[in-house]
Amino acid sequence: MPSHDPSGHGHDHDHDHDHSELSDIQLRVRALETILTEKGYVDPAALDAIVESYETSIGPKNGARLVARAWIDPDFKAALLKDATEAANALGHVSPVSSHLIAVENTPQTHNLVVCTLCSCYPWEVLGLPPVWYKSAPYRSRAVIDPRGVLADFGVSLPAETEIRIWDSTAETRFLVLPMRPPGTDNWSEDKLAEIVTRDCMIGTGLPNP
Amino acid sequence: MSNTIHDMGGMHGFGPVESEANEPPFHEPWEGRVLAMQRATGFMGLWSIDGGRASLETLPPVTYLQSSYYQRWFLGLEKRVVAHGLVGADELAAGHSLHAATPAPRTLRAADVPRTQTRGNYQRPSAAPAKFKPGDRVRTVNISPTTHTRLPRYARDKEGIVEAIRGCHVYPDTAALDVHNENPQWLYTVVFTGKELWGDNADPTIKVSIEAFEPYLLPA
Helices (H), chain A: 24-38, 44-56, 60-72, 74-82, 84-91, 124-127, 137-142, 147-153, 190-195, 199-203
Q: Please say if the pLDDT value at position A98 is more than 80.
A: no
Question: In chain A, which residues have their Cβ closer than 8 Å to the Cβ of B14?
Answer: 136-138, 141-142
Q: Do B78 and A129 touch (CB under 8 A)?
A: no
The pLDDT > 70 percentage for chain A reads 89
**Could you say which residues of chain B have pLDDT below 70?**
1
Q: Do A54 and B78 touch (CB under 8 A)?
A: no
Give the domain ranges of chain B. Answer: 29-116, 137-219
How is residue A83 annotated by DSSP?
-
Q: Do B198 and A125 touch (CB under 8 A)?
A: no
Region A57-74: what's the mean pLDDT?
Answer: 93
Q: How many whole angstroms separate alpha carbon A194 and alpha carbon B163?
A: 30
Residue A8: its pLDDT value, please?
39
**Residue B79: Cβ-neighbour burial (10 angstroms; 0-12, 13-18, 19+):** middle
Confidence of residue A95 (pLDDT cuts 50, 70, 90): low
Catalytically annotated residues of A? 116, 119-121
B5 three-state secondary structure:
coil
Q: Is A65 on the interface with B (CB under 8 A)?
A: no
Domain B29-116 classification at class level: mainly alpha
Confidence of residue A10 (pLDDT cuts 50, 70, 90): very low
User: SS3 string of A190-206?
Assistant: HHHHHHCCCHHHHHCCC
Note the pTM of the prediction, 2 decimals. 0.93
Q: Which residues of A95-126 are buried (b: 16+ CB within 10 A; e: fewer)?
A: bebbbbbbbbebeeeebbbbbbbbbbbbbbbb
**pLDDT tens, position by position, A26-60:** 999 999 999 999 999 999 999 999 999 888 888 89
Residue A12: its pLDDT value, please?
44
Q: How many whole angstroms separate alpha carbon A16 and alpha carbon A13?
A: 8
Chain A: give the shortest CA distance to residue B6, in Å. 6
Structural domains in chain A, sorted by start: 18-56 (no CATH), 60-203 (3.90.330.10)
**Residue A183: Cβ-neighbour burial (10 angstroms; 0-12, 13-18, 19+):** exposed
Any residues with CB less than 8 A from the CB of A48 and at least 6 apart, and which? B36, B110
Give Cα A126 distance to the centre of its chain.
8
Give Cα B100 distance to the centre of its chain.
32
**Residue A197: Cβ-neighbour burial (10 angstroms; 0-12, 13-18, 19+):** buried
The pLDDT > 90 percentage for chain A reads 79
Q: Do A3 and B151 touch (CB under 8 A)?
A: no
Q: Please say if the pLDDT value at position A129 is more than 90.
A: yes
Tell me the average pLDDT of chain A: 89
**Residue B133: Cβ-neighbour burial (10 angstroms; 0-12, 13-18, 19+):** exposed
Probe site for chain A from B106, B117, B168, B186 (most A CB atoms < 10 A): B117
Beta bridge partners of B190: B162, B210
Question: In chain A, which residues have their Cβ closer than 8 Å to the Cβ of B67?
Answer: 3, 6, 9
Domain B137-219 classification at class level: mainly beta
ipTM of the complex: 0.96
